[in-house]
Amino acid sequence: MNAHLLPTGSPYFTAAETQIPERHTLSVLVDNEPGILARVVGLFTARGYNIDSLTVSETEHEKGLSRITVVTVATPKVLLQIKLQLERLVPVHKVHDLTAEGKALERELALVKVAGTGEHRVETLRLADAFRAQVVDATTESFVFEITGKPSKIDSFIALMVPLGLLEVVRTGLAAISRGPEGM
């Protein structure tokens, strides 16, 4: 049997998928109106695409525009399909693949609650200082830290807090912007 005619998981027999999934950050400029977020998320859900991170905020109040930042993992072929389908949605103005366009600035904020008594309390504060995490709440039995940075930095901080008494984590999701003088 010809290898290019083998089933691929699709109802259609096409060439086997040889592309490796990659993490991409998409920035989507939309009109700030009810239902647009549900439509964007629905596009992903209906097609079985996973969203790793999602942030939304009004960015241009006078123009009534919001920016949706979506992090997803997909093959280049699927990613192109996602972008094309997003661009067809009304009221989407622009879709940028910040990952493909070059090095984007990416940051995330997390609040991390850690139990802290005895020797663990001192070690927790030492590590928080090394990661430039700010204490935003402290009791005699716990701390809440605010940490910002790349998701990998936050992941590392959380991993170090587990043996020291990690209690709870809340993350905002990724905020990203392209470098250079060009805007969206």
Total structural domains in the chain? 2
Residue 91 has pLDDT above 50, yes or no: yes
> Average of pLDDT values for 2-10?
48
Which domain does 138 fall in, by range? Answer: 104-177
Q: Are residues 55 and 90 in the same domain?
A: yes
CATH number of residue 112's parent domain: 3.30.70.1150
In a 13 Å sphere around the CA of 172, the CA atoms on its Cβ side amount to 18
> Average of pLDDT values for 104-114?
96
The pLDDT tens digits for 9-38 are 544 444 455 678 889 999 999 999 999 999
Name the residue with higher pLDDT: 57 or 16.
57
Residue 115 lies in a domain: yes
Band (75; pLDDT cuts 50, 70, 90): confident
CATH number of residue 70's parent domain: 3.30.70.260
Other CB atoms within 10 A of residue 96 CB: 19
Band (181; pLDDT cuts 50, 70, 90): confident
Residue 1: its pLDDT value, please? 44
Residue 157 lies in a domain: yes
Q: Are residues 20 and 97 in the same domain?
A: yes
CB proximity list for 129: less than 8 A, separation 6 or greater: none
Whole-prediction pTM: 0.78
Domain end (from 72, 101, 130): 101
Cα–Cα distance, 70 to 82 (Å, whole number): 11
Number of helices (H), then strands (E), in the chain: 5, 9
Measure Cα distances from 61 to 19, 64, 96, 142 in Å.
Answer: 40, 5, 21, 39
Cα–Cα distance, 141 to 157 (Å, whole number): 19
Q: Are residues 93 and 110 in the same domain?
A: no
